[in-house]
Amino acid sequence: MVKRGNWTRRELLRSSAVAAGSLVFSGAAGPLAFAAGSDTIRVGVIGCGGRGSEAAKNCVDSSPGVKIVALADAFGDRPQGVKKSFGVPDDRCFVGLDAYKQVLALPDVNLVILATPPGFRPIHLAEAIKQGKNVFMEKPVCVCPAGYKMVVEASEQAQQKGLAIVTGTQRRHQGVYVEAMKRIHDGAIGNIVSAQCYWNMGGLWVNKRQPGQGDVDWQIRNWLYFTWLSGDHICEQHVHNLDVVNWAFKDAQPVEVHGLGGRQYRTGPEYGNIFDHFGVEYTYPNDVKTISMCRQIEGTADNVSERVVGTKGVWRSEPGVIEGEKPWRYEGPSVDPYVQEHTDLIKSIRDGKPLNEGKRIADSTLCAIMGRESAYSRIRFQRSWFLGRCTLNLLPAEDLKLSDARPVPAVAVPGQYQLPGWVQEGRRGKRGA
Amino acid sequence: MSSQGNKGVSGTSAGVAGATVAAVLGQMAHAQGSDRIRVGMLGCGGRGNGAIQNCLDADPGVEIIALADLFESQAKGTRDRFMKNEKYKDRIKVNDDHIFSGFDCHEKIAKCEAELLLMATAPAFRGRQLMAAIKAGKHVFTEKPVGTDVAGCKEVMEASRLAKEKNLAIVAGTQRRHQAGYVETMKRIHDGAIGELVGGQCYWYGDGIWFHGVPEKVQMSELEWQVYNWYHFTWLSGDQICEQHIHNIDVMNWCFNGPPAKFTAVGGRQWRSSNPEQVKTAKEVCGKFNNGSEENWEKYNGDIWDHIYAEFEYPNGARCLSFSGHSPGSGRNGEKIVGTKGSSDCNRGITGENAWSFQGGGIDPMVQEHKDLIASIRSGKPLNEGQRVAESTLTAIAARMAACTGRTFTWKWLMGASKLELVPRDVKPGPGLFHKIATGRDELV
């Protein structure tokens, strides 16, 4: 979901100015590897909901010479706003669950924005890379280990083909984070011995089921609340914070996970089958343990932040400070990171040095998925087990239709929930105290 | 203790040995001219029976002279059990007029001639029971936790102050404080062996717990059944975080020499409500109290949660994880403390710059705690753990409150402003006291 910062008009203008400056430079100097004979970035938007529309705008705002030229969405009403804003002709607006294929088949499109519900992302990414498109994709990028593997493979292919993949974990493009991480990696807080991250907030939008609406139709309209579509809120939102903690560890991955969670307040049928809170312990190499907490319950205490603790100091994302032996406070410019990520993407394409964040975001998404599955089952497991042996596959069928029957899966109940692949190793969870 | 020749044995144990010598020299405040200690047991359930045995094992001078329980059958059953045991029967001297029952049994037993009372009733009543005992001039061994709400814990703190004035001992059943491995390791942690404390984790995650129906042979009202099945009602047990996990929380507080400054938590009840065996029993109980109707059985199914994930922020800024709950097939129990120079499991050793490992030694800490208590009484320097165990109980309660309300709050607020009181002042046989299961955004009281 979109978590917008409170950007003032002045900051937005300043960020546009920065973007313009970088364009003049790269536009004048760089050979354009992406589309011979033209320096225009021609963008197809796949998934025209709130985030897709915003991303399209961010992309156009980020750099001159960017044009939205094609749209796809599962529903006919969705692309209307974007279509109007960017003057996309009727015959370039595609509707349906396979509309993404039509956009990806257009030879003039050289960048696509993937912003459908995350459950579809692996399939869409694989097709985009196959069709030779550069990609901006929203987070998270998968909801199960099967999807994770598809994203990793597509990212490797992108590398071989010289295609860019940038993802909507915008903190990686935000000065206050980038500068802090540089220092953490340079040892400003010593060795990392602990970390905490949180996405505790109220509720989000709900699309209630309309009379006569089919299962798949309604679930996609109301996708936040179904694990197969959103990955649950730990995946859909909290991935931002988990990604930051991974970043602090130089993208070393946790080796073990143990989670708790449940659905205590938000229990109505309109909330599908996801939980409303999670608490997960991630154990990184050298037995460094971290706290992850996320909650979506209206009227509870907010906290969206990260904190990393080292032997020589502490970094806090709010307000962006290091305390300890080498105190530091971010004093750089405040640029809209939702625009900056597109600026960086397009510059990398134009410079012929495509960014590829695919594997990295897949790993961070996998952290969230592991936390979710551990909380659903309350089983403590190793990442190596999850990647090697867990057979969970929530990918939608190739021929999925909006009219398909698809009952809402049961809310996970520990002790009953089957973690696919765990059965034969069942007693591992007993390895206790 | 020293005869075991273990270098690793704790300073506490050494202190105890010294105290025992003092006792032999005859400085016994407790019972003039005798090394006999007369003991009364309040609460004759599973832990109560365990505590009696631990106390008898701790010192040959211990005699059990009074037994009290809400149910007379429990108290008599306990006497019978020990009377059948060759090892203990000579020291069980409980006359029929020293069997006390009913909701006021703590007042009755406080009037008997025992010098020491052991308490293992449901945690809800500990504050008032401890207060009655201290007012009556008894030394006390109290099981943990010592309350289920803020008011109850404050009463324990008050009773502890009074005990200090009256030179009475209060020792609590957080036995890690009397376990050689913990004591030795903690000494090093406090001496700076792992540097400044910057983080930590503690866990008590278990399989589940008994759920009692109404016993065939005992007549009981709804409320008495609730007390009999106390674990499953927050007002009686404080929930699992309070009832079990307090052990580990107490170790974290021990590391930091005091309670956390700030609390944030999430939690819920995800499987208990649908646990088939429990549901079956709850329906039977409903039928018994409602002329066979099982219509409103849910309230008999208990209201405690099955998981809480809490963050404690200590006064120095360190944030620690508390991880607790129950679900089938799970087990995890322990602590870890992290410093700038190393880390420790608080029990077996230290890793890092000052690596060290505990070489063993010490006896069953659940016996040791009684030894330490009795030695302290004999030496005329009674231990008083009341304030400390009340703080650890409140730490668990605070985590539960943070999870149940979705609010973040401070220790200062808790002590100064919270009005949480779950236990009625006047508890008597009659209709049950049922609460709705907490939602995660309940009002913060």
Residue A110: both structure tokens together? 């050289």
In angstroms, rounded to a whole number, what is the distance separating the alpha carbons of residues B224 and B102?
A: 10
C-alpha to C-alpha distances, B36 to A313, B133, B136, B140, nearest whole angstrom:
56, 19, 19, 16
Inter-helix orientation angle B72-83/B46-58, to 10°:
40
Determine the pLDDT at residue A51. 93
Mean pLDDT of chain A: 90
Determine the pLDDT at residue A162. 97
Q: Measure CB to CB from residue B271 to each of A280, A311, A414 and give the nearest one.
A: A414
> Can you tell me whether residue B4 is helix, strand or coil?
helix
Tally Cβ neighbours within 10 Å of residue A253.
Answer: 17
pLDDT of A46 over the 90 cut? yes
Mark yes or no for CB contact A194/B199 under 8 Å. Answer: yes
In angstroms, rounded to a whole number, what is the distance separating the alpha carbons of residues A218 and A211?
A: 10
In angstroms, rounded to a whole number, what is the distance separating the alpha carbons of residues B282 and B115?
A: 41
- Best mutation target among B266, B333, B401 (most A Cβ atoms within 10 Å) is B266
Task: Give the mean model confidence (pLDDT) for residues B377-401.
Answer: 98
pLDDT of B329 over the 90 cut? no
> Can you tell me whether residue A201 is helix, strand or coil?
strand
Mark yes or no for CB contact B270/A429 under 8 Å. Answer: no
Q: Give the residue from chain A lying closest to B197, CA to CA.
A: A311
Determine the pLDDT at residue B330. 79
Mark yes or no for CB contact A194/B274 under 8 Å. Answer: no
B440–chain A nearest CA distance, Å: 6
Q: Which residues pair with A293 in a beta bridge?
A: A198, A279
In angstroms, rounded to a whole number, what is the distance separating the alpha carbons of residues B375 and A99?
A: 81
> Residue B359's closest CA among B22, B5, B1?
B5
Determine the pLDDT at residue B34. 65
In angstroms, rounded to a whole number, what is the distance separating the alpha carbons of residues A46 and A70?
A: 8
Chain A residues closer than 8 Å to B275 by CB: 415
pLDDT of A331 over the 50 cut? yes
Sheet strand arrangement including B262-268: B356-357, B349-352, B342-344, B332-339, B197-206, B319-326, B307-313, B262-268, B409-410
In angstroms, rounded to a whole number, what is the distance separating the alpha carbons of residues A366 and A372?
A: 10
Please state the φ and ψ torsions of residue B15, each to the nearest 5 degrees: -60, -40
Determine the pLDDT at residue B2. 33
Q: Measure CB to CB from residue A300 to each of B203, B331, B407 and give the nearest one.
A: B407
Determine the pLDDT at residue A2. 38
Cα dihedral sign, A384-A385-A389-A391: negative
A149-153, A279-283, B5-9, B242-246: range with lowest mean pLDDT: B5-9
Q: Give the residue from chain B lying closest to A201, CA to CA.
A: B406
Q: Give the residue from chain A lying closest to B264, CA to CA.
A: A301
Q: Considering only residues 190 to 249 of chain B, which have any Cβ-Cβ distance to chain A shorter than 8 Å?
A: 195, 198-199, 201, 203, 205
Torsion of CA B268, B271, B273, B274, to 10 degrees: 160
Determine the pLDDT at residue A175. 95
Contacts (Cβ under 8 Å, ≥6 apart) of B347: B176, B179, B181, B182, B185, B334, B335, B358
Q: Give the residue from chain A lying closest to B334, CA to CA.
A: A433
In angstroms, rounded to a whole number, what is the distance separating the alpha carbons of residues A275 and B177?
A: 38
- Best mutation target among B202, B252, B321 (most A Cβ atoms within 10 Å) is B321
Q: What secondary structure does DSSP assign to A25-80, as a single string?
A: HHHHH----SSTT---EEEEEE--SHHHHHHHHHHHHHSSSEEEEEEEESSTTTTH
Amino acid at B277: E
Any A CB within 8 A of B444 CB: no
pLDDT of A102 over the 80 cut? yes
Tally Cβ neighbours within 10 Å of residue A159.
Answer: 15
Q: Measure CB to CB from residue A299 to each of B274, B328, B441 and give the nearest one.
A: B441
The number of residues in chain A equals: 433
In angstroms, rounded to a whole number, what is the distance separating the alpha carbons of residues B133 and A325?
A: 52
| ipTM of model | 0.90
More confident residue, B303 or A429: B303
> Can you tell me whether residue B239 is helix, strand or coil?
coil
Q: Considering only residues 254 to 283 of chain B, which have any Cβ-Cβ distance to chain A shorter than 8 Å?
A: 264-271, 274-275
Tens of pLDDT along A63-76? 999 999 999 999 99
In this prediction, residue A29 has a pLDDT band, given cuts at 50, 70 and 90, of very low
Q: Measure CB to CB from residue A415 to each of B311, B321, B328 and give the nearest one.
A: B328
Chain B residues closer than 8 Å to A281 by CB: 201, 321, 323
Tens of pLDDT along B336-386? 999 999 999 999 999 999 999 999 888 999 999 999 999 999 999 999 999
C-alpha to C-alpha distances, A103 to A44, A49, A220, B36, B272, nearest whole angstrom:
6, 16, 20, 91, 49
In angstroms, rounded to a whole number, what is the distance separating the alpha carbons of residues B236 and B242?
A: 11
Burial readout A367-396 (b: 16 or more C-beta within 10 A, e: otherwise): bbbbbbbbbbbbbbbbbebbeeebebebbb
On the CB side of B282, CA atoms within 13 Å amount to 20
In angstroms, rounded to a whole number, what is the distance separating the alpha carbons of residues A95 and A47?
A: 10
> Residue A274's closest CA among A185, A352, A369, A182?
A369
> Can you tell me whether residue B308 is helix, strand or coil?
strand
Q: Measure CB to CB from residue B270 to each of A262, A280, A429 and give the nearest one.
A: A262
Spacing of C-alpha A302 from chain mean position: 21
Q: Across the A/B interface, how many CB contacts are shorter than 8 Å? A: 147
Mark yes or no for CB contact A432/B323 under 8 Å. Answer: no
- Best mutation target among A193, A278, A308, A430 (most B Cβ atoms within 10 Å) is A193
Mark yes or no for CB contact B406/A380 under 8 Å. Answer: no
Cα dihedral sign, B50-B56-B58-B62: positive
Mean pLDDT of chain B: 92
The pTM score is: 0.91
- Straight-line distance from the first to the last Cα atom of chain B, in angstroms, rounded to the nearest whole number: 47
Any A CB within 8 A of B319 CB: yes
Contact B47, B74 (CB under 8 A): no
Amino acid at B135: K
Chain B residues closer than 8 Å to A324 by CB: none
